[in-house]
A and B are shown apart, each in its own frame.
Chain A
Amino acid sequence: MGKEKIKINPEFYDIMPVEYQELVEEGTYGKEDRGWKDVGESKELIEEHSLCAGCPESIAFRYVLACLPAPEDTIMVGSTGCTSLVFPHVAVHNIHSLFGNQNAVASGLKRALSYRFPDKVKDVVVLAGDGATVDIGLDMTLQSWFRQEKFTTICFDNELYANTGGQSSGLMQKGFVAKMAPAGKKFDKVNLPEIAKVSGCHYVAKMTVSKPNRVEKAIRQAILIAREVGPTYIQLYTPCILEIGKQMMEGLQEMRDSEGPNKRFEFEEYISEEAKAYLETIDPKKKKKKAITA
């Protein structure tokens, strides 16, 4: 669709606040090669947010929005948590669901969109925290994967309930002591990427957001695979610097420290055979090579 529907009526152009004029003139809607390198270069789909200063989630949010293949045809579904503080400021259609319901809401939304716009590609992307994805919403998360619903689930994993003061979550490391979990976490961190694989996800990735190229590739692949093949899941480590006792400039280093070999956020990626075959059909380089060989 691109920019053709994102136009201001000329009668009102001069009275529109400048941020909306910039969104129309310098936004990246419709740009096929949009990506994280647009951050700071063109009008972003999120510029102000209400997260804490230095929060790694804020940069993760920026990367995700900068890497959506078609933001003008994307609807994001959020849930309760720090992410829900940001969604009201985002220039992409979004729905706030009840805590944990995000994958159920996204299932209905995706189906309704395919009936309403049978000739158009509409992406649905769930973006929720670890509490919503793994604890309170685990039922909805898994059921949507079992049903092979065609949308992407992104989990911002900060390993606790940060918004409410630091309670233990399923994705918290074993033994970790938080403000509201003084006895330490009693059981292992839930291995949701593995669960996602066996539950039918066609693309699964686990990483931090310290390497934006990698994040961009994963987000694009996940959304493209979800369009045609089936559910996809990405788990991004976005540490809560307040709850783990870090300063605002230490978030990036915390992510780097957590993604080394054998660390809990060492990069892992899984692509099903079906999804691999699909990716080959849309990869321009491979397409070209195939044509030359033929």
Chain B
Amino acid sequence: MSKYSVMKGPEAFLPPAAACEGVVLPDPGQGLIHGEIVHEDLVMEAAARQFLTAKVPTLFPGPLVLWNWNENAAKKAVAIKALYDVLKAHNPGALHIPMPDYRPKYPKINPAIEINPNHPNLTIWHNKIDVCMFVGVHCHMANLSLKIIRGGTDCYTIAMCAQAGHEDAMLTFRDASPDKINRLTETVRRVKASGDF
């Protein structure tokens, strides 16, 4: 049986969970690229290249960073905004679209201004998003969303997870912290300055 790779979709109406296909989560200091465990630095580089080559790179901040519920959330918000500013300076088409909560909003979702985990494909299709990063989304909702995106769109997904990472994203970080988000921002700056992307 060939090894399963977590690649851009659209894969299928009901794509399999990557965990069921043998993809395992990384250990601290590691990440996943297409389901393969690699050193975190490689994930940083790969994520930076994806952002810099995308037509509409987009950040999807979730409730854990949108709401000022503790000091760490406030620091993460500052770090994410800094990353967004760097992406926007490079590509004016860059977006950051919030996922304020997880309430299903049928049929009134406004895909231009928000993303909902129960139908993330609407926001991706509407804004023609080709690379996105989830940050501050609770794991169970991120897993659901990442699978729907992989199943029905051709968007490249990155997960900046504060816990153990996400198999269903094409790139995943684990143990996200303000420092790690700042490192990603620095990596984007460096790769951009090198011109090698």
- What sequence of 0s and 1s flags, for each residue 40-81 of chain A, a beta carbon within 8 Å of any chain B beta carbon? 000000001000000000000000000000000000000000
- What sequence of 0s and 1s flags, for each residue 30-46 of chain B, a beta carbon within 8 Å of any chain A beta carbon? 00000000000000000
**What CA separation (Å) do A9 and B74 show in the bound complex?**
6
**What CA separation (Å) do A48 and B104 show in the bound complex?**
12
B68, closest chain A residue (CB): A7
Cβ-Cβ contact count across A and B, 8 Å cutoff: 46
**What CA separation (Å) do A20 and B99 show in the bound complex?**
11
Known: A9-B77, A11-B80, A48-B108. A16 touches B68 (CB 8 A): no
Interface residues in B88-114 by Cβ distance below 8 A to A read 96-98, 100, 103-104, 108, 110, 113-114
User: A288 an interface residue at 8 Å Cβ cutoff?
Assistant: no
Known: A9-B74, A9-B77. A17 touches B69 (CB 8 A): no
Task: Report the interface size class on chain B.
Answer: 20 to 34
Interface residues in B108-136 by Cβ distance below 8 A to A read 108, 110, 113-114
Task: Report the interface size class on chain A.
Answer: 10 to 19
Q: Is the CB of A9 within 8 A of B103?
A: no
Q: Is the CB of A15 within 8 A of B97?
A: yes
User: A112 an interface residue at 8 Å Cβ cutoff?
Assistant: no
**What CA separation (Å) do A5 and B71 show in the bound complex?**
11
Q: Is the CB of A11 within 8 A of B98?
A: no
Known: A11-B77, A11-B80. A16 touches B110 (CB 8 A): no
User: B65 an interface residue at 8 Å Cβ cutoff?
Assistant: yes
Residues of B within 8 Å of A11, CB to CB, are 77-78, 80-81
A20, closest chain B residue (CB): B100
- What sequence of 0s and 1s flags, for each residue 1-25 of chain A, a beta carbon within 8 Å of any chain B beta carbon? 0000111111110011100100000
Residues of A within 8 Å of B66, CB to CB, are 8-9, 12, 16
User: B4 an interface residue at 8 Å Cβ cutoff?
Assistant: no
Say how far A88's CB is from chain B's closest CB, in angstroms. 5
**Of A8, A11, A88, A89, most B-chain CB atoms within 10 Å:** A11
Known: A15-B97, A16-B98, A17-B100. A9 touches B113 (CB 8 A): no
A50, closest chain B residue (CB): B106
Known: A15-B113, A88-B103. A6 touches B67 (CB 8 A): yes
Say how far B156's CB is from chain A's closest CB, in angstroms. 22
Can you name 11 A-B pairs with beta carbons within 8 Å? A7-B67, A8-B67, A9-B68, A9-B74, A9-B77, A11-B77, A11-B78, A12-B65, A16-B66, A17-B100, A17-B113
What are the 5 A-B residue pairs with the smallest beta carbon separation, nearest first?
A9-B77, A11-B81, A7-B68, A11-B77, A9-B68
